[in-house]
Amino acid sequence: MIVAERKPLGEIVEMIAQLHKVTVIGCRSCVAICLAGGEKEVKMLISALKLKNRKEGRKQEFDGFVLERQCEKEWVKEVDDKILASDVILSMSCSLGAQTIADMYPEKVVVPGLNTAMFGVPEEQGMWSEKCLGCGDCIIHTTGGICPIARCAKSMLNGPCGGSSDGHCEVNLDIECAWYAIHERLKLQGRLDLLEAVRPPKDWTPSHSGGRRIIVREDAKLTQHQKRGKEAVI
C-alpha cells in the first residue's frame, strides 16, 4: 500500500496561514491504514491547529471529514459543496488524493498535509518498510522474491556493490543489503545459479523515466457512447 506520514505541523500551519476557511479531508484507504490520514488524525490535526490559533489569537474556520478514497472523483464529488465553500483544502491523503481534488477544482488551493513516502508494507504495528519502487517491470522471480530496485539503495541489478558489509548497506547500516538478502534467500532455495546470469542494463522506460505513466484497459474503459453529461464532452 501507499505509505505516508504527516508533515511537521509547523509546515502545515505555514501553508494555510493566509487562508480563512480550511477544510481538512482525510482518506479511509491506505493512509488510514498507515495511521497517517484517517478520521482520528484529521480530528487531532484540527484540534491542534485550533489550539495553535487560540494561542496566537488568530481566527480560522475548520471543517474536517474523511472520504472513502480521495483519489477517486466519485467520492470527492460527494463533498462538492464543502470543497466549494472553503478557501483551502488541506488534504490528509496521499498526494494522489490531493491531486485528484486539485485537478477537479482548479480554482481551489489544495495543500498536502502528508508526505507520501513509499509503497511499503507494515512490518509490524507502527513500522512500515519500502519494498517496491513501481518500476513497471517486475523481476523478483529471479531474485528470490526480494526487489533489488527498491531495497538496494543503488538499485543494483547484478549483485551487491562494494559497500555491502556483514549483510548491511553502506548507505545506512540499519538497513540490510538487499543483495545479501537475495543471496541468502536463493541459497536457501538452492537456486544460486540464478545469480550467474548477467542482467543487462534495465530498460527504465516502463518506469518514471519514460514519462508520466498512463495505463489503459480498453475493455474496461467506457466508450463515448456510454458516457453522460460533462464526461461526454470531449
Partner 1 sequence: MAEREPKVVGYCCEKHGIECVNLAARSGKQYDASIRLVRVPCTGRVDGMHILRALEDGADAVFVLGCLEKNCYYDTGSIEGRKRVDYVKSMLSQVGIEPERVEMFNASSSMAWKFPEIVSTMTDVAKRLGPIEPRGDRQ
Partner 2 sequence: MKRRIQVVICRVCSGAANVLDVEKLLRVANEAPYVGSAIAVNYACNAKTIAQIVEEAKSREVDRMLIIPCSKSDVSPALFQAYKKKAKINEFLMETVDLVGEIVLPHRDNPARAQAKAESKLLAAITRMAMLEPLQKSSEKMRTKNVVIIGAGVAGVEAARQATQAGMHTILIEKSDKEVKAPGVVMPKTRLVSAKGHAGNFILTIEAGEKRETLECAAVVIASGGDWSDAKGPLVQACGAKPLYRLVQEIGEGIISREGVVIVDTPDPKADITSAQDFAWEDAIQSAIEIRKKSPETEVYLLFQEMRALGLDELSYRDAADLGVRFVRYDKKRPPHADPKDKSKIVVIDSVQGQTLSIPYGGVYYASIAPNPDNVSISEALRIPMTESGGLRRGSMQKGPIATPRPGVLVCGSAQFPRSENISRLEGRAAGALAAQLVSTGIVEFGGSVAEVTPDKCSACLTCVRTCPFEAPFIGNAGKAEIQLQLCQGCGMCVGICPSKAIELHNYTDDQLSTETASYIGGDF
String marking each residue 5-24 x if it binds partner 1 according to CB under 8 A: ---xxx--x-----------
Print the binding letters for residues 61-90 with partner 2: x by CB under 8 A, - otherwise: -----x------------------------
Cα 136 to Cα 208: distance, rounded to the nearest angstrom? 8
Q: How far is CA 121 from CA 4, 84, 92, 118, in A?
A: 11, 35, 20, 9
Nearer to partner 1, 40 or 187 (CB): 40
| 13, 19, 21, 39: which one binds partner 2 (CB under 8 A) | 39
Applying CB under 8 A, among 47, 158, 205, 209 the residue interacting with partner 1 is 47
Which listed residue (17, 44, 85, 173) binds partner 1 by CB under 8 A? 44
Q: How many residues bind to partner 2 according to rule CB under 8 A? A: 14
- Taking the complex as a whole, the smallest distance from the CB of residue 53 to partner 1 amounts, in Å, to 9
Instruction: Tell which one of 18, 55, 198, 215 touches partner 1 (CB under 8 A).
Output: 55
Q: To the nearest whole angstrom, how small is the minimum distance from the Cβ of residue 43 to partner 2?
A: 7
Does residue 52 touch partner 2 according to CB under 8 A? no
Identify the residue among 3, 32, 118, 152 touching partner 2 (CB under 8 A). Answer: 32
46 scored as a contact of partner 2 (CB under 8 A): no
